[in-house]
Structure 1
Amino acid sequence: MIRRWNPDVVAAPAGRYSHLATVPEGHELVMISGQLGVLPDGTLAGPDAESQARQVYANIELLLESIGATPAHLVKVFTMVAGTEHLPGCRAAMGEAFGRWFPDGDWPAQSLAVVAALAAPELAVEVEAVAAVPRAAGRG
């Protein structure tokens, strides 16, 4: 099981994250490339950060399922938001997803950055993640 914790040598986390996370023996790290709020047909889920972020988290969940994992296997999440005006919508969607995924508050390590822009002007949110999944023969 992934261990997540917050030593008292630094201030408590300011949001939904743990300061530290470790990967148990017998697991492999899986890197999830930056996910966008894009539907399976390639169209954008919506023009706003909240609808895009909801789709981002749905995509991450689908990718995890495709390798026999769940959000409980997430070790690290890195969110990029294209401008401070998109923070409320992104945080709302993150709160919904994390509320479902981590109901006991055992959050993964996480960083959030406000960036000048993403790869295209209509993109508001991009999220990368790292998961630790038990080793399985023939994955991929």
Structure 2
Amino acid sequence: MIKRWNPSGVAAPAGRYSHLASVPADHGVVFLSGQIGAREDGSLAGPDAEAQTRQAFTNIAVLLDSLGAGPRSVVKLFTLVAGTEHLDGFRSALREVFDDWYPDGDWPAQSLAVVAALATPELAVEVEAVAAVPR
């Protein structure tokens, strides 16, 4: 079982994440490349961060499913948002996804960076994940 926790001695998380997450010895660690808001056919789910974030997490769910895993297997997320103007849309979609994936609030470790741009100008969000999968 993946363990996630927030020890004393540091401030409480400023958002929906845990400060620490550990992978049990009987699990392998899998790194998922950054997922953008592209559908299976390659088209973007929408021009905005909210639609792209939802699709990026849908893509992560598909990748986890291909491993025989699910959202509870996510140990760490790293998100890049292309400009502060996309933060509200990202946060709105993240709230929806996390309410569905982690209704008990047992959130993975997470980092968020706002960057000037992503690989192409129409991209608003990219989300990487690290997952723990039973051996």
When normalised by structure 2's length, the TM-score is: 0.99
Instruction: Please give the per-residue CA displacement for 1:17-69, whole angstroms capped at 9, x wherever unaligned.
Output: 00000000110000000000000000011000000000001000011001100
Q: Distance in 2 between matches of 1:19 and 1:9?
A: 11
Q: What letter corresponds to residue 7 of structure 1 in structure 2? A: P
Q: How many residues align?
A: 135
After TM superposition, the runs of 4+ consecutive aligned structure 1 residues lying more than 6 A away are: none
Q: Which residue is equivalent to 2:64?
A: 64
5 Å-filtered alignment, 1:80-99, equals: 80-99=80-99
Gaps (5+ residues) in structure 1?
136-140
Q: Secondary structure at the match of 1:118?
A: coil
Letter of the 2:108 counterpart: P
Quick one: distance in 1 between partners of 2:25 and 2:131?
14
Shift of 1:8: 1.1
Letter of the aligned partner of 2:81 in structure 1? Answer: V
1:5 aligns with 2:5: yes
In structure 1, what residue type is equivalent to 2:19?
A: H
Question: Matched residue of 2:9: which SS?
Answer: coil
* Paired residue type of 1:98: F
Secondary structure class of the residue paired with 1:81: strand
Show structure 2 runs of 5+ residues with no match. none
Amino acid at match of 2:33: S
Superposed CA offset, 1:57-99 (max 9, x none): 1000011001100000000000000000000000011111111
